[in-house]
Amino acid sequence: MGNTKSSAMSKEILEDLKLSTKFTETELCQWYENFQKQCPTGLITPQEFENIYARFFPDSETKSYAHHVFRSFDTNDDGTLDFKEYIIALHMTSSGQMSRKLEWAFSLFDVDKNGYITKSEVGDICQALFKLIPAEDQAKLPEDENTAEKRAEKLWNYFDKGDNEKLAEGEFIKGVLENENALHLIQYQPAAK
């Protein structure tokens, strides 16, 4: 207390994050302390981010998925994640609210950030997601979901769009909310060990 080290979070960022997330001041300050410890420069690089994913999914190829997630969190496009982006990411992805998670999923699939998802973007993310599935589990997948291409095709068809059409955020969220299997195809959750 009263120890205003240079590492303290600015009042402005704190107020901003309190407004835009459901986190309390105490939580935010604790996360800030942890963030500073893990990341003394205050910025997470793509490489550090990849390393975190590699630790979470030791049996998978995480590089391309980590790259896409990083891009979706780097809202100001400067190639690093600052504390604010990190907390917003945490808020979006850990929220109990499905609609918020799906807003994030939309930004994950919108690879070029133009506000629409194309079939080829669905293909890119399905590739990255497929690589997250450990090889032994890939072998157990149903016949029509056992390659990234099949999964992308199946997912895209749920949205009822032609190959050259594009998908807006509302259509994406609605489509996934109405279809459990679409929800299953846009994510990978490792079986609990």
User: For the window 44-83, what string marks contact with Ca ion as x by the rule CB under 5 A?
Assistant: ------------------------------x-x-x-----
Task: Measure the CA–CA gap between 28 and 22, rounded to whole angstroms.
Answer: 10
Task: Determine phi and psi for 83, rounding to 5 degrees.
Answer: -60, -40
Q: Least distance to Ca ion from the beta carbon of 73, Å?
A: 8
Q: Least distance to Ca ion from the beta carbon of 173, Å?
A: 15
- Looking at beta carbons only, is 133 or 173 nearer to Ca ion? 173
Number of residues that bind Ca ion (CB under 5 A): 7
- Looking at beta carbons only, is 50 or 110 nearer to Ca ion? 110
Q: Least distance to Ca ion from the beta carbon of 110, Å?
A: 4
- Looking at beta carbons only, is 33 or 78 nearer to Ca ion? 78
User: Interface with Ca ion by CB under 5 A: which range of 3-11, 87-95, 107-115, 154-162?
Assistant: 107-115
- The Cβ-side half-sphere exposure at 45, using a 13 Å CA radius, reads 5
Q: Least distance to Ca ion from the beta carbon of 98, Å?
A: 22
41 scored as a contact of Ca ion (CB under 5 A): no
Task: Measure the CA–CA gap between 131 and 118, rounded to whole angstroms.
Answer: 20
* Per-residue CA distances from 58 to 42, 65, 67, 151 (Å): 26, 14, 16, 23
H-helix or E-strand containing 156? Answer: helix 148-158
- Ranges within 116-155 binding Ca ion (CB under 5 A): 116
Q: Least distance to Ca ion from the beta carbon of 34, Å?
A: 19
DSSP 159: T
Residues in the chain: 193
In the set 15, 59, 112, 160, which binds Ca ion (CB under 5 A)? Answer: 112
114 scored as a contact of Ca ion (CB under 5 A): yes
- Looking at beta carbons only, is 60 or 84 nearer to Ca ion? 84
H-helix or E-strand containing 93? Answer: helix 83-94
Residues that bind Ca ion (CB under 5 A): 74, 76, 78, 110, 112, 114, 116
